[in-house]
Amino acid sequence: MARILLADHDYADVELERTLLRDAGADVVTAQCKTEEQVIAHGRDCRAILLQSAPITERVLDALPDLGIVSRVGAGYDTIDTAACEKHGVWVANSPDYGVGEVATHALALALASIRNIVAYHRDIGAGEWHFMSSGALRRPTELTLGIVGLGRIGKRMAHVSRNVFKRVVAYDPYLIDGDFPAYVERARTLPELATRVDIVSLHTPLTHETRGLIDAKFFAAAKRGLTLVNTSRGAVVDVPDLVAALASGNLAGAALDVLPVEPIPRDSPLLADPRVILTPHAAFFSTEAELELRRKAAQNIASWLRCGRPDYPVTRGTRAP
């Protein structure tokens, strides 16, 4: 039987993966790999690696010549060196469409919680204060403009579920042609243009060398004063020190973040002390149904490769056969 490494996971049991891959003629071994050394040690003689956050690097690939495919339990794949995988002929696959609705509705919930002061009201009531003006003035959502950075599957769903909540929706995505923008979404040609036009911005972009630190001091300086930032994409898309500075200056009215560059959040982070910041624990993707779909699709990538030499959701095309 082909040997498959489940390199790391957060689940109480992995019987779903074991059963699906056993039916494809594979045997699953499990580990909790955090380093290259651990992936190499546990991955020897493995034909495939199923992973959440374990690193797949040039060094790992050099040490594992039998490896044919890497499948990520998730949509993003920033811990995988895709260029190195392509060079070595190793397939890379992911689960790109498992929690589109969950992430979009979570982002909308964060946006509304921030601009309607939901968390602040709750905190004030707990402190003994009961008044509709306790946390300050509120603006009518139908007079506000939502901005979306990244109009992929989730960005488009966010636009769809938000279009009747806000006055207008404006999006920035340099990789789409005009025809890929829904009729109800206006286009911003540049990121600074988006910043000047919107009251709330929601991030839905993958983490790449181009998007790392994309939302920085320049963006906040260009933005309307009083902007609200929502991030359910990747933590490192936002420069956190610049975000903290924008909150301190008042350029940023609030931030609602599901993802951070370092998770869990360090206990000394200034974000924890700022009442204008709402945090959730990288949970936007989650529902019971979404988790099962995610795990099934990630494992099925490997099962499909074992059966026919190609995963269902390829990111990088490989040359290595089962």
Q: Which of 15, 263, 289, 307 is catalytic?
A: 263
- Respond yes or no: is residue 186 known to be catalytic: no
Q: Which of 116, 160, 282, 320 is catalytic?
A: 282
- Respond yes or no: is residue 131 known to be catalytic: no
Among residues 103, 142, 76, the alpha carbon closest in space to that of 230 is found at 103
State the Cα–Cα distance between residues 45 and 101, nearest whole angstrom: 38
- Name the strand (E) or helix (H) holding 158: helix 153-162
Q: Which of 47, 88, 234, 276 is catalytic?
A: 234
- Contact of 200 with 111, CB cutoff 8 Å: yes
Alpha carbon dihedral 156, 158, 160, 166, in 10-degree steps, equals -130
State the Cα–Cα distance between residues 159 and 148, nearest whole angstrom: 8
- Contact of 45 with 55, CB cutoff 8 Å: no
Is cis: bond before 264, omega within 30 of 0?
A: yes
Cα radius of gyration (the chain): 21
β-pairing, 48-51 with 2-6? Answer: parallel
- Respond yes or no: is residue 225 known to be catalytic: no
- Name the strand (E) or helix (H) holding 93: strand 91-93
Residues in the chain: 322
Catalytic positions, written as ranges: 234, 263, 282
